[in-house]
Amino acid sequence: MPYGIGAPSRASVANNVFASEGLGGTAILDLASRLKAQGEDIHELLRAGTGRSGDAPERLAILNLLAAHVVELIQREHWVPRRDKHRQDAVDLFSRADALEPMCQRTWLGKSLFHLLFGEVQNSEYYFQNVIRTDPRSEPALMGLAAIRFHERSYDSARGLFAR
């Protein structure tokens, strides 16, 4: 069946197969990664995957991947009502991820980038710092915090974080 106008997406078809076969989160994450690389919309697949039962680490990974996808949608969206809807979706997904594992570095990194996107630098810095406290060598957190310092014109501090 061709995937043209009016036809179901490959993610939609795959989601139906996963549901009927009882396949777990690892299969969903693997397919989502491949579809994303091909430029496919993975939103529906991941959204359905967040409601499945299964291992908490798999559900957490799906929630964080979907939250990252929604943050991407926020960046591309110019229509304010839809952007606000995506923002609320991201907040809800991060809350669900926190409920599964409140100390997850991936969730913290996602939240820090989310807050940075909206210019909420203090909130962003808070989550970057949380990651660095648990993993002092976390490159994404160090680079994020260095970018904040650079933007604040604290160049020596930024250079020190880049050097770590």
Query: What is the CATH number for 135?
Result: 1.25.40.10
Q: What is the pLDDT of residue 14?
A: 53
Residue 120 placed within a domain = yes
Residue 63 placed within a domain = no
What domain count does the chain have?
A: 1
**Is residue 102 pLDDT above 70, yes or no?**
yes
Higher pLDDT: 10 or 114? It is 114
Residue 3 placed within a domain = no
**Is residue 20 pLDDT above 50, yes or no?**
no
What domain range includes position 162?
103-164
Per-residue confidence band for 2, with pLDDT thresholds at 50, 70 and 90:
very low
- What percent of the chain clears pLDDT 70, i.e. is strictly above it? 82
Higher pLDDT: 32 or 8? It is 32
User: The dihedral of CA 86, 91, 95, 101: what is its sign?
Assistant: positive
**Is residue 103 pLDDT above 80, yes or no?**
yes
pTM for this predicted structure: 0.77
Residues 75, 109, 162, 159, Cα dihedral to 10°: 70
Residues 149-164 have a mean pLDDT of 90
Give the Cα separation of 138 and 161 in Å (integer). 11
